[in-house]
Amino acid sequence: MTELLDLEQLDRDLYRGVNDVKVNGEPALYGGQVAAQALKAAGLTVATDRAPHSLHGYFLRPGLPAQPVIFAVERDRDGRSFSARRVRAMQNGAVIFEMTASFHIDEAGGTYEMPIRDGLIDPESCVPEPHSANFPRADARVVPPTQVDDAGNHYSSTVWLRAVDPLGDDRLTHCCALTYLSDIGSGFMTLDRTDLPRGGPSLDHSMWFHGAIRADAWTLLHMWPLMAGGARGLYAGSMHQQDGQLGAMVTQEILLRRRP
């Protein structure tokens, strides 16, 4: 993961990233990778006392694994406690992903966190996520209750996740790694509807970062559907560490087209 997030600086506010290649030969880049690298590019232009607190991204074109991705950062604002950035991820002169991100200094204040889901099975007792081979930087385990397809694969909208390798202590790196992990799975996996697929290509993705949890420790991504219509589906998610600490909230809209 640290290698994936080690962007090459080409010029001021201009970076280049390496790509993971899916083992099943799918022609598009993994969206979580592009979003994570875009957040890293934005973070490299911000003072080190400011950590990501939110991002909002749009997937505009499929990314090509055989070509590097160029990230261009625009410095919208640096205030006393917040910094705002815009990032364009490009290939062949075309924008494939666009993100706005905000960074905030740590401030004291009242706290409230939604609790972690009850009755969880520990990660080591869960089966691997069926498509986990496509995410070589992550360990992914599905949490019951699950749905089983005709091939015997178990699917769930709740997944234990962690980065495979240690990430050190840099907070920006952990936020970027959580972004990578947050795009694994779908909030429609266990919705038993014959007229709706379990997942689809990402359209847009938003995250809000809360506690400074570690992405190289087991993190529970719990997702639930909000609505579906017009061939699109919207779901929300939470990311908790095993001790119950809330690390991030997620919303994502995906394309839900029934394939023949």
Give residue-wise pLDDT tens across range 36-56: 999 999 999 999 999 999 999
CA distance 248 to 240: 7
| pLDDT at 24 (0 to 100) | 59
CATH superfamily of 8-106+122-255: Acyl-CoA thioesterase, double hotdog domain (2.40.160.210)
Least confident of 23-27, 28-32, 70-74: 23-27
Express each pLDDT in 154-190 by its tens digit. Answer: 889 999 999 999 999 999 999 999 999 999 989 998 8
Stretch 141-156: mean pLDDT: 86
DSSP string, 169-225: T-HHHHHHHHHHHHTSS-TTTT---TTS-S---EEEEEEEE-S---TTS-EEEEEEE
> What are the beta bridge partners of residue 103?
52, 83
Q: Would you call 252 a catalytic residue per the annotation?
A: yes
| Tokens 């690298």, located at residue | 37
H or E segment and range at residue 72: strand 69-78
The pLDDT of 75-82, averaged and rounded, is 97
Lowest mean pLDDT among 32-36, 80-84, 112-116: 112-116
pLDDT surpassing 80 at residue 228? yes
**Residue 193: pLDDT above 90?**
no
157 among known catalytic residues: no
Confidence band of 151 (pLDDT split at 50, 70, 90): confident
How does the average pLDDT of the chain come out, rounded?
93
Between residues 35 and 147, the one the model is more confident about: 35
Which one from 156, 186, 202, 241 is the annotated catalytic residue? 202
Tell me the helix, strand and coil percentages in the chain, rounded to 5: 10, 40, 50
Q: Which residue has the higher pLDDT, 118 or 84?
A: 84
202 part of the active site: yes
pLDDT of residue 260: 58
Helix residue ranges, H only, the chain: 31-43, 171-182
User: What is the SS3 assignment for 256?
Assistant: coil
- Among 33, 91, 183, 238, the one annotated catalytic: 183
Answer for the pair 57, 98: CB distance below 8 angstroms, yes or no.
yes
In angstroms, the Cα distances linking 214 to 11, 55, 181 are 30, 18, 12
Question: Residue 147: its pLDDT value, please?
Answer: 83
pLDDT at residue 194, rounded to an integer = 81
* Residue 25 neighbours by CB distance under 10 Å: 7
pTM: 0.95
In Å, the largest CA–CA distance within the chain is 56
- pLDDT of 190 reads 85
Region 31-35: what's the mean pLDDT? 95
Q: Could you tell me if 174 and 214 are in contact, meaning their C-beta atoms sit under 8 angstroms apart? A: yes
Burial 188-211 (b: 16+ CB within 10 A, else e): bbbbeeeeebbbbebbbbbbebbe
Q: Are 197 and 233 in contact (CB under 8 A)?
A: no
Residue 20 or 186, more confident: 186
